Amino acid sequence: MASVETQPQASQSSSDNEVIIETRNLTKIYRDFWGRQKVRALKALDLEVRRGEIFGLLGPNGSGKSTTMKLLLGLLFPTSGQALVFGQDPTSIATKERIGYLPEESYLYRFLDARETLNFYGQLFNMPADVRQKRVNDLIEMVGLKWAERRQLKEYSKGMTRRIGLAQALINDPELIFLDEPTTGLDPIGIREMKDLILKLKEEGKTVLVTSHQLADLQDVADRIAILHQGELKELGRVDALLKVSDETQIRAKGVSEEAKAEIRAILEREHAENISVENPTTTLEELFLNIVRESEARPGRRAGSDRS
């Protein structure tokens, strides 16, 4: 994806600790027509998201992460507790002017084309025509849909729809972006580009709240994560701290001979270490795939990975 011009966030360094999202005892109970409780989707959630961080909401299906996001977007009303975005009610117009939202599936008007779609959402932000046109052009370039900008969205593939969905979420150059399962439906290259974009948004000082059940996606981009299960907050903290296994040691080195490996193993055994493993590390399948694609693009016609055989 190409880059797009955005406004630097005001007084970024001085307000890094500013709380952008805050939930206090946030609870959501779904009821039936007669008011009887059907399901308690969220139980007393306390959460704070600070300016400039990428915050991940993680959990299996039905854990309450989508409910949390909908409460923060004003699409649902809390049963009890409070949700504040920029210190205000999520339904307030002032809040909505500063946020962008990419839904789980791109819920867009399928009878519009890409340009009409972005133009329409731009108008909802009261953007003057000239500013809007420039922004629309930039975003269409950024998401790589220039070639299909006049096609109705109903003719788009899932990946293309996600891209135009992302473009509409960024139409107002938001300070806070909600991404609901942003990598769903994307191919590995699209996933990588999405992750790069999320990191780029962070570099620009924007705050990102992202939900996903693709654990690897969040691991790569999130500063902090909250893990929800059955509507309850189970874990909250920095990703690196949460993933650190404090009672194990990992040594990584290049060009170590078999003799040296045997010697290292012997030393560890002598020190009574448990679960000793001295072997070549494996890469992730995503890394492997991306390397192959990059190599193939760099040297067309050559079978990728032939060096490894």
Partner 1 sequence: MGIEDTIQPLSEWLLPIPGQQLGGLLTFMIALVILIVCGLVFGFILSVFRNGPFEAFYAVFGTAVKSVPELLSISPRRVWAMTWLAFQEAIRKKALLVFALFMVVLLFAGWYINPSAEQPVRLYLTFVLTFPKWLVLLLVIALSVFSLPDDIKRRTIYTIYTKPVLPSELFLGRLFGFVGVGSIVLFAMALVSYIFLLQGFNHTHYINADDLVAGENGTLIGETTEAAGHKHGVTIYPDGNGETDRTHEHRHAISTNEGSTGPEDKYVVHGPTDMFQARVRHIGNVRFLDRSGKNAAPRGINVGKEWEYFSYIEGGTFGAAIFTFDDVNEGMLTEVVEGDETKQMLPVEFNLSVFRTYKGIITEGIRGNYYFKNPETGARSIAIPFTAKEVSDLHYIPRTLSNFKADSEKPELDLLEDLTTEDGGRLELWIQCVEPGQYFGVAQNTVYILEANRNFTMNYVKCYLGIWFQVILVITFGLVFSTFLNGPVALLASFLALGYGSIAGEVKGLARNVIFGEKTGWYGGGPAEAMVRLFTQKNIMTELGDYFWVDVVKGIDMVFAFMIYAFVNMLPDYGMFDTQGFVVDGYNIPIAVVAEQLITVLGFLVALVAVGYFFLKSKEIAA
Interface with partner 1 (CB under 8 A): 30, 35, 70, 73-77, 79-80, 93-94, 96-97, 99, 101, 103, 105, 107-109, 111-112, 116, 120-121, 123-126, 168, 172, 178
Name the minimum Å distance from CB 128 to partner 1. Answer: 9
Name the minimum Å distance from CB 260 to partner 1. Answer: 58
- Whose Cβ is closer to partner 1: residue 68's or residue 183's? 68
Query: Between the CA of residue 75 and those of 39, 82, 83, 92, what are the distances in Å?
Result: 18, 14, 12, 12
Name the minimum Å distance from CB 116 to partner 1. Answer: 8
- Whose Cβ is closer to partner 1: residue 68's or residue 192's? 68
Query: Which residues, listed in sequence order, are joined to residue 239 by a DSSP beta bridge?
Result: none
- Whose Cβ is closer to partner 1: residue 120's or residue 289's? 120
- Whose Cβ is closer to partner 1: residue 44's or residue 304's? 44
- Whose Cβ is closer to partner 1: residue 105's or residue 220's? 105
Query: Between the CA of residue 25 and those of 43, 61, 164, 198, what are the distances in Å?
Result: 7, 22, 35, 29
Name the minimum Å distance from CB 156 to partner 1. Answer: 15
Name the minimum Å distance from CB 46 to partner 1. Answer: 19
